[in-house]
Structure 1
């Protein structure tokens, strides 16, 4: 009986140690697989120069340089996904994106769905017509005419909110290129676009367009995360942005695309 008891005790100890070793291994493996990978997915509209666009097969622009510099400063990695601007917030809601960019204006309506970073660019909407058009000098001249806008933008919202007052028709498209073409080929009389975007496009390309009148409003761009879901990431973005401004890197990026 004594020998059997000692052997049984030894066997129990061996099994217990084996079980402990197995638990430790499982815990280590689970932590490795389920831990924070430190890679964040960023959604952008790549037809939005100077903020994001393709150049010689490479994705470049103010937003691209900024988020890359912020990621480097804060020690995380990014995976950039290209999509229509109107799909960025829905993709965040679906859990497909961590960060939304693309010259996204900070608005009260969007704040119902996303949390914005500190502003990183002061913008504003402007009316754009075909070059040489002397019939339209401001939005007051748009009665009975057609405005083309890009889906999901503040320009589209401004056009809808003010349609009754100014009496124009609205055409919606999915990207900036199509919007520019609508005015360039005469299918629409004017478009509404963010001032820095259209000013850059007119200067850098062969667009036969002109800015008509003063800015329609003023707004700020921000980077966004899903509302109430990612405070830690939002802090990283804000801390990185502040660091870039302090170091001069922020001004360097803007000057690269907009000039001194």
Structure 2
């Protein structure tokens, strides 16, 4: 009888181990099948995306937190890829990346090239000058003045429009916001046209450098972009965005950065 009981106990232990092992393998399989999407961004656009202060290889920011929250909600992983802003759409179209999360304004021209999610933040354009500049108080004061703008941005398009109308002088195209500010500080440029929340964030972190003289040039919105026709990913991003707005995660991220 004792041998029979020992045999039964041993059999029960083996059964438990097999069951536990099966559950572990199943979970491991579920995690391993999570799809990874490559996210293209230009990480010189605080507070939306920028390199972490103590780790230049780690990209942080509003867009980063929001995409990570959407990914967690929708059950996929993300891998971030550092690109110049004007290279993002070509990279998406060629398949080098799966989506763009880089403070990208939704415009009609861009909608012909990519598919955008629902807007995730309002971000119009602002006209900013050096804090010591008392000459420029609005667009009417830009005649003959030099603009410093980010290559490929909506700010650069607005500057080109003003130049075509004869309202401004030359345009200096630069890759990063910090370079734009440096050109204004060094008086190579007189003003910049850039996204309002980005300009406000810079002013908050670097007081006494620039000031906004007009914050109503346009009323625009940012969206995440996917390759035209990628309805599967677009649907996940839109659903995830809606979910994180409803559960309060979006508000927490907004409070963190703004």
Sort the TM-score into its range (normalised by shorter chain). 0.7 to 0.9
Q: CA deviation at 1:168?
A: 2.1
Q: Give the match's secondary structure for 1:54.
A: strand
On the 8 A contact 1:51/1:63 being kept in 2, the answer is yes
TM-score (norm 1): 0.83
Query: Is structure 2 residue 150 aligned with structure 1 residue 150?
Result: yes
**Within 5 Å, which residues of 2 pair with 1:62-81?**
62-81=62-81
What residue ranges of structure 1 are gaps of 5+ in the alignment? 1-31
**Within 5 Å, which residues of 2 pair with 1:187-226?**
187-205=188-206, 208-226=209-227
On the 8 A contact 1:184/1:207 being kept in 2, the answer is no
On the 8 A contact 1:53/1:59 being kept in 2, the answer is yes
Number of the residue aligned with 1:45? 42
Point out the more displaced range, 142-151 or 210-219. 210-219
Number of the residue aligned with 1:179? 180
Separation in structure 2 between the aligned mates of residue 107 and residue 227 of structure 1, nearest angstrom: 15
What residue ranges of structure 2 are gaps of 5+ in the alignment? 1-28
CA deviations 1:101-147 (Å, max 9, x no partner) are 21100000001110000000001001110012110000110101100
Number of the residue aligned with 1:133? 133
Number of the residue aligned with 1:18? none
Q: CA deviation at 1:255?
A: 0.7
Separation in structure 2 between the aligned mates of residue 37 and residue 89 of structure 1, nearest angstrom: 25
Separation in structure 1 between the aligned mates of residue 252 and residue 112 of structure 2, nearest angstrom: 33
Separation in structure 2 between the aligned mates of residue 214 and residue 124 of structure 1, nearest angstrom: 7
Separation in structure 2 between the aligned mates of residue 142 and residue 178 of structure 1, nearest angstrom: 21
RMSD of Structure 2 on Structure 1 (CA): 1.6
CA deviations 1:134-188 (Å, max 9, x no partner) are 1000011010110011111000111112213213211111111111111111110
Q: Which runs of 4+ in 1 moved over 6 A?
A: none
Q: CA deviation at 1:206?
A: 5.2
Q: Give the match's secondary structure for 1:179.
A: helix
Separation in structure 1 between the aligned mates of residue 186 and residue 216 of structure 2, nearest angstrom: 24
**Within 5 Å, which residues of 2 pair with 1:97-112?**
97-112=97-112
Q: Give the match's secondary structure for 1:152.
A: coil
On the 8 A contact 1:201/1:207 being kept in 2, the answer is no
Separation in structure 1 between the aligned mates of residue 168 and residue 244 of structure 2, nearest angstrom: 45
